[in-house]
Structure 1
Amino acid sequence: MAEHPDYRALFDLTGRVALVVGGGSGIGEAGALALAAHGARVAVADVDQAKAEATVALITERGGTASAHVVDVRDTASVDRLVATVQAAEGRIDVLLDMPAINIRKRLADYTDEEFDRVVDLNLKGTFRVARAVAKVMAAQKSGSMILMSSMRGTSVEPGQSIYGSTKAAITLLVKGLASEMAEHNVRVNALAPSIIATPINAVIRDNPAWKEAYASRTAFGRWGETYEMAGPIVFLASDAASYVTGTTLYADGGWTVVDGRYKPPV
Structure 2
Amino acid sequence: MDYANLFRLDGRRVAVVGGAGGIGREAVRALVAQGADVVVADRDEKGAEETVALSGGGTDRSGTASACALDVLDPDAIRAAADAWGPLDGLVVTVGANVRKRVADYTLDEFDRVIALNLRAYLSLVQTFAPGMAERGRGSVVGFASMRAFQVEPGQSVYAASKAGLVQFLRTAAAEWGPRGVRFNAVAPGVVRTPLTDQIAADPAWYDAYAQASALKRWARADELAGAVAYLVSDASTYVTGSVLTVDGGWTAVDGRFDPAL
TM-score, normalised to structure 1's length?
A: 0.94
How many Å apart are 1:262 and its aligned residue? Answer: 4.3
Structure 2 distance, partners of 1:174, 1:149, is 12
Q: Does the aligned pair in 2 maintain the 1:217–1:262 contact within 8 Å?
A: no
- The one-letter code sitting in structure 2 at the alignment partner of 1:180 is A
Q: Does the aligned pair in 1 maintain the 2:100–2:155 contact within 8 Å?
A: yes
Structure 2 distance, partners of 1:199, 1:131, is 25
Which residues in structure 2 correspond to 1:134-153 (within 5 Å)?
134-153=129-148
How many Å apart are 1:122 and its aligned residue? Answer: 1.2
The structure 2 residue matched to 1:39, chosen from 35, 39, 47, is 35
Structure 2 distance, partners of 1:96, 1:187, is 11
What do the CA deviations read for 1:216-251 (whole angstroms, capped 9, x no partner)? 000100000001111111111010000110001110
The structure 2 residue matched to 1:7, chosen from 3, 6, 10, is 3
Residue 263 of structure 1 corresponds to 258
Residue 155 of structure 1 corresponds to 150
Structure 2 distance, partners of 1:123, 1:7, is 35
Structure 1 distance, partners of 2:122, 2:27, is 17
TM-score, normalised to structure 2's length?
A: 0.96
How many Å apart are 1:265 and its aligned residue? Answer: 4.4
Structure 2 distance, partners of 1:60, 1:137, is 29
Q: Which runs of 4+ in 1 moved over 2 A?
A: 60-64, 260-267
Structure 2 distance, partners of 1:96, 1:136, is 12
Residue 69 of structure 2 corresponds to 70
Q: Secondary structure at the match of 1:11?
A: coil
Residue 241 of structure 1 corresponds to 236
Residue segments in structure 1 that go unaligned for 5+ positions in a row: none
Q: Does the aligned pair in 2 maintain the 1:147–1:238 contact within 8 Å?
A: yes
How many Å apart are 1:136 and its aligned residue? Answer: 1.6
What do the CA deviations read for 1:51-101 (whole angstroms, capped 9, x no partner)? 0111111124673411110111111111111122111xxxx2001100110
Q: Does the aligned pair in 2 maintain the 1:49–1:69 contact within 8 Å?
A: yes
User: Mean alpha-carbon deviation: is it higher for 64-73 or for 256-265?
Assistant: 256-265
Residue 222 of structure 1 corresponds to 217
How many Å apart are 1:203 and its aligned residue? Answer: 1.0
Structure 2 distance, partners of 1:260, 1:48, is 35
- The one-letter code sitting in structure 1 at the alignment partner of 2:134 is A
How many Å apart are 1:44 and its aligned residue? Answer: 0.3
Residue 212 of structure 1 corresponds to 207
Length, aligned pairs only: 259
Q: Does the aligned pair in 1 maintain the 2:214–2:255 contact within 8 Å?
A: no
Residue 249 of structure 2 corresponds to 254
Residue 181 of structure 1 corresponds to 176
Structure 2 distance, partners of 1:75, 1:192, is 24
RMSD: 1.3
Share of identical aligned residues, percent?
A: 44
Residue 120 of structure 1 corresponds to 115
Q: Secondary structure at the match of 1:177?
A: helix
1:58 aligned to 2:58? no
What do the CA deviations read for 1:94-144 (whole angstroms, capped 9, x no partner)? 011001101111111111111111111111101111121111221121111
Q: Secondary structure at the match of 1:244?
A: coil
